[in-house]
Amino acid sequence: MAKPTYDFAIVGAGIAGSACAYYLARAGRTCLLIEADEVASGASGFSAGLITPPIGLRLQPPMRELMLAAFDLHQELPETLGNGSGSGYELRHGGSVLVATEEAAAPALRSLLDDPVPRRRGARWLDPEQVGEVCPWIDQPQAGGIYEPSAGNLDPDRLTHAFCAAAQRAGARLAIDSVVSLEESGPGFRLRGSRDEYRADQVLLAAGPWTGTLAGQLGFKDSVNPLKGQILRLRLPPPHSAVGFSCPDGSYLAPRPDGQVWIGTTEESVGFDRATTDAARDLILARARRLCARIDQGEVIAQTACLRPVSRDGIPLIGPVPGIRGAWICTGHGRTGMLLGPVSARELVNLILERETALAMAPFDPARLGAASAPSGLETGESQ
């Protein structure tokens, strides 16, 4: 029997690919979602799942509108995806404090509240003595902080599975296979996996940090790179609180509904290595200890490592693969892919279907990194 030709082959079932499959399938397109390992086996299964309202740099163009729309979309998603009916990924708005650990840093941090957007969401300045009252995890003196009551977190693995399941309910098919080669063939594309071959009229690359290798086969080189991050999952003695904290250096503590706290993180440019290390564990604990001395009484339950997809200029890549008709890319969301993945997918699908987008998408057009060169036709040889 002849193999089906799908409208779309989507490579990668992380948050980006699963959400793209969902929006395309819901629009009536036939979709094959191809995942090398398991759904959410990349960063989408192991991130901290912080759904943090944007502030500071994240409110600067070109990210401002995307960030704001992403945060708003997350408030609707539990209902859209059927949270509480088996796929519950537990978006909780526990609130969080962005901490000034030193006095010298406090004025600059406080000035972030000059922007009315965080203030409208209820963000407010905390004087030093209020920091530990609002966030009881913090038992060491701090110079102040911004309390963000709408900050939340969710289970990233479950959110990704919820999108994938919703895509399948809308008609998408999931294939577990590693795409090793990709080429234009007649009208459309031929994808060769380690198990099977597939044909699709259009292809959408959402393979996280591995997207660069696949896009390179279409001549779009050096688009995205991996940035490793590690997290510790702990149990800590009381008092517990739903309010977490983060610091301008990128470290954070996120309380989970099951009583665990997740603390992070690192930024390591070490290629595709996903091993956990003692050095990262020590660094994460040392940073957390500056705020929460109780950290040393904690029991480390797990240490995880995963890879963020980071584009060459740090801005997400959402749009056509330059010069290749019918090839699309959705990646490069770096540290905020759980927050941004759904809205990027929604807007990319609007672009693909030539519908009006809710946001100006030109700043995210991959063409800004340069046009594609002649396709190499090389095979990756990598499983993912």
Question: What is the chain's percent helix, strand, coil content, to nearest 5?
Answer: 35, 25, 40
Specify the residue, 189 or 210, whose C-beta has the smaller distance to ligand FAD: 210
Nearer to ligand FAD, 56 or 128 (CB): 56
- Cα(276)–Cα(282) distance, rounded to whole angstroms? 11
Query: Cβ closer to ligand FAD: 60 or 383?
Result: 383
CB contact at 8 A, 190 and 197: yes
Q: How far is the CB of 38 from ligand FAD (least distance, A)?
A: 7
Residue number, 91 or 367, with CB nearest to ligand FAD: 91
Q: How far is the CB of 223 from ligand FAD (least distance, A)?
A: 13
Closest distance to ligand FAD from the beta carbon of 296 (Å): 22
Determine phi and psi for 55, rounding to 5 degrees.
-155, 155
Distances (CA, A) of 152 to 8, 75, 115, 243, 289: 33, 10, 20, 9, 22
Contact between residue 121 and residue 146 where contact means Cβ atoms under 8 Å apart? no
- Whole-number minimum distance, CB 7 to ligand FAD, in Å? 18
The CB-of-26 to ligand FAD minimum distance in angstroms stands at 18
- Contacting residues for 155 by C-beta, under 8 A, at least 6 apart: 49, 89, 90
**Interacting residues of 99 by C-beta distance below 8 A, sequence separation 6+:** 131, 138, 142, 144, 145, 245, 246, 247, 291
Q: How far is the CB of 214 from ligand FAD (least distance, A)?
A: 6
Of 136, 296, 332, 66, residue with least CA distance to 215: 332
Closest residue to ligand FAD using C-beta atoms: 337
What minimum distance in Å lies between the beta carbon of 367 and ligand FAD? 20
Q: Tell me the closest approach of the beta carbon of residue 104 to ligand FAD, in angstroms.
A: 27
Q: Among residues 132 and 208, whose Cβ is nearest to ligand FAD? A: 208
Q: Which residues bind ligand FAD (CB under 6 A)?
A: 11-17, 34-37, 41-44, 47-50, 178-179, 206-208, 210, 229, 231, 264-265, 306, 308-309, 331, 333-339, 341, 384
Comparison of 47 and 202: residue with beta carbon closer to ligand FAD: 47
* Of 57 and 371, CB closest to ligand FAD: 57
User: What is the rounded CA–CA span in Å between residue 44 and residue 330?
Assistant: 14
Q: Write 72-77 long-range contacts (CB < 8 A, 24+).
A: 73/342, 73/343, 73/346, 74/152, 74/154, 74/339, 74/342, 77/159, 77/342
DSSP per-residue letters across 171-235: T-EEEE--EEEEEE-SSSEEEEESS-EEEEEEEEE--GGGHHHHHHHTT--S-EEEEEEEEEEEE
Specify the residue, 85 or 269, whose C-beta has the smaller distance to ligand FAD: 269
- When the beta carbons of 180 and 361 are compared against ligand FAD, the nearer one is 180
Report the length, in residues, of the chain. 384
- C-alpha distances (whole Å) from 356 to each of 90, 110, 348, 351 are 31, 38, 11, 7
- Give min distance, CB of 4 to ligand FAD, in A: 18
